[in-house]
């Protein structure tokens, strides 16, 4: 039995079943229990979705799997876009014709420790790896209900939650599209959607992705990013013992200012959020990532950096500074690189570890905040924050 299995809702599709759930299904068909583990390994460890190719299963079982169960990734790759910097964007289509995207970001050794893609959530050294490690960014919802004003995903609102099968399917497909000489190493839940707003599917997906008989991703190499859903941060900490890496989109050290760009702040203001971060049962020597998008004339002044350092004092965090990615139709802009440097220096002087995320995949609109819902009818509702000067 999987050690950290949280109290999961039942699986909805074949791809969402854990080995013990496969065993129960196959035993009901008169098959030995161990076949459950074999089927799970084919699907998740090897990424083989066609029962006919599961060669260590008897022909009768392969036929029955093909006949009785629809096993597919619940999500298909409709096109692949390659960026000049090696970033690869997979355009995905769901069974109901929705569009989503997953991004594969290589971490060349020269860039490790310098970029977002290079960021190792575990803080472990990666330079000695013979293969180029790849970070995959995946989505958890079609659209997003959180309405952050700087984010393309939030502009059109929430269309629907993604299933655990659709979430895991992105990683199975992503691994299959990882370039030769590369290895999928980190998965970040930072694409379209607020992962903790879709907690049940995300918890099952986490359990599947980290299962030792499946993809076997280390929990410390899986990052859940949240805009600050406090009860679900607590739940994640409880269910996974704090081992799953946590990233928090903060973007402002001031309640009134944060509420202007992130409506969730009105429900869970900063003091409540900071308390939740203090409670998160983080293992020793690990840190929570704080995402901070720098917006010109809004939150990118050295005085904001000072306030941020005060807010984060005593917390085990590192700050990921992200110059705003321009979103079509949204007039907000990133600050100049000189202003970014000044912000970073002030934060460092305040004793807060930080790094600047360089943009990856800009030329294919794969950078964070650009996962637009191009095929969805758009009703853009941007409430611009009050800018200084």
Binding region for ligand SF4 (CB under 6 A): 144, 146-148, 151, 153-154, 192-194, 227, 249
What whole-number distance in Å separates Cα of residue 122 and Cα of residue 223? 10
Q: Which of 137, 144, 148, 368 is catalytic?
A: 368
Q: Of 181 and 377, which CB lies nearer to ligand SF4 in the complex structure?
A: 377
Alpha helices in 210-331 (DSSP H): 230-239, 255-261, 264-267, 270-279, 302-312
What whole-number distance in Å separates Cα of residue 244 and Cα of residue 242? 6
Handedness of CA 80, 136, 160, 248 (dihedral sign): negative
Q: Please, what is the minimum distance in Å from the beta carbon of residue 291 to ligand SF4?
A: 9
Pairing state between β 141-143 and 132-137: unpaired
368 is catalytic: yes
Burial of 285 (0-12, 13-18, 19+ CB in 10 A): exposed
Q: Of 17 and 197, which CB lies nearer to ligand SF4 in the complex structure?
A: 197
Q: Please, what is the minimum distance in Å from the beta carbon of residue 188 to ligand SF4?
A: 12
Question: Which whole-number Å values give the CA distances from 314 to 113, 168, 187, 310, 347, in the listed order?
Answer: 23, 35, 28, 9, 14
What whole-number distance in Å separates Cα of residue 372 and Cα of residue 100? 9
Q: Please, what is the minimum distance in Å from the beta carbon of residue 226 to ligand SF4?
A: 8
Q: Please, what is the minimum distance in Å from the beta carbon of residue 254 to ligand SF4?
A: 18
Q: Are 61 and 35 in contact, with CB atoms under 8 Å apart?
A: yes
Residues in a beta bridge with 82: 88
Q: Of 148 and 236, which CB lies nearer to ligand SF4 in the complex structure?
A: 148
Q: Please, what is the minimum distance in Å from the beta carbon of residue 327 to ligand SF4?
A: 10
111 is catalytic: no
Q: Please, what is the minimum distance in Å from the beta carbon of residue 359 to ligand SF4?
A: 16
Residue whose C-beta lies closest to ligand SF4: 154
Q: Are 107 and 132 in contact, with CB atoms under 8 Å apart?
A: yes
Those residues whose C-beta lies under 8 Å from the C-beta of residue 248, and which sit 6 or more positions away, are 225, 226, 227, 228, 273, 277, 288, 289, 290, 291
Q: Which of 16, 31, 101, 291 is catalytic?
A: 101
Q: Of 71 and 371, which CB lies nearer to ligand SF4 in the complex structure?
A: 371
Question: Which whole-number Å values give the CA distances from 258 to 23, 133, 308, in the listed order?
Answer: 48, 34, 12
Q: Of 151 and 352, which CB lies nearer to ligand SF4 in the complex structure?
A: 151
Q: Of 227 and 346, which CB lies nearer to ligand SF4 in the complex structure?
A: 227
* Residues annotated as part of the active site: 101, 368
């Amino acid at each position: 039995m999987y050690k950290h299995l949280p109290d999961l809702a039942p699986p909805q599709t074949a791809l969402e079943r854990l080995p013990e759930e496969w065993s129960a299904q196959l035993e009901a068909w008169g098959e030995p229990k161990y076949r459950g583990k074999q089927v799970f390994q084919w699907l998740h460890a090897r990424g083989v979705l066609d029962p006919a190719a599961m060669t260590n299963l008897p022909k009768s079982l392969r036929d029955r799997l093909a006949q009785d169960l629809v096993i597919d990734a619940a999500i298909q790759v409709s096109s692949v876009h390659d960026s000049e910097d090696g970033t690869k964007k997979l355009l995905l289509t769901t069974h109901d014709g929705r569009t989503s995207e997953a991004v594969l970001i290589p971490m060349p050794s020269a860039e490790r420790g310098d970029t977002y893609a290079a960021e190792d959530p575990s803080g472990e050294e990666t330079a000695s790896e013979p293969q180029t490690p790849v970070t995959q960014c995946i989505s958890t919802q079609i659209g997003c209900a959180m309405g952050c004003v700087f984010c393309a995903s939030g502009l059109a609102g929430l269309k629907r939650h993604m299933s655990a099968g659709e979430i895991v399917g992105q990683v199975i497909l992503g691994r299959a599209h990882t370039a030769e000489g590369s290895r999928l190493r980190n998965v970040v839940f930072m694409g379209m959607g607020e992962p903790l707003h879709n907690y049940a599917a995300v918890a099952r997906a986490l359990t599947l992705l980290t299962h030792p008989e499946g993809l076997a991703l280390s929990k410390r190499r899986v990052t859940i990013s949240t805009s600050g859903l406090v009860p679900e941060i607590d739940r994640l900490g409880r269910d996974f013992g704090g081992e799953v890496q946590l990233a928090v989109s903060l973007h402002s050290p001031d309640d009134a200012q944060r509420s202007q760009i992130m409506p969730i702040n009105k429900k869970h203001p900063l003091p409540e959020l900071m308390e939740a971060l203090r409670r998160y049962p983080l293992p020793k020597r690990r840190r929570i990532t704080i995402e901070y998008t720098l917006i010109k004339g809004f939150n990118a002044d050295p005085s904001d950096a000072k306030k941020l350092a005060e807010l984060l004092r005593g917390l085990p965090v590192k700050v990921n500074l992200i110059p705003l990615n321009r979103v079509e139709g949204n007039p907000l802009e990133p600050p100049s690189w000189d202003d970014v440097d000044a912000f970073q220096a002030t934060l460092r002087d305040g004793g807060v570890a930080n790094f600047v995320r360089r943009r990856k995949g800009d030329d294919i609109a794969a950078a964070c905040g650009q996962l637009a819902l191009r095929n969805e009818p758009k009703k853009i509702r941007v409430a611009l924050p009050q800018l200084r000067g």
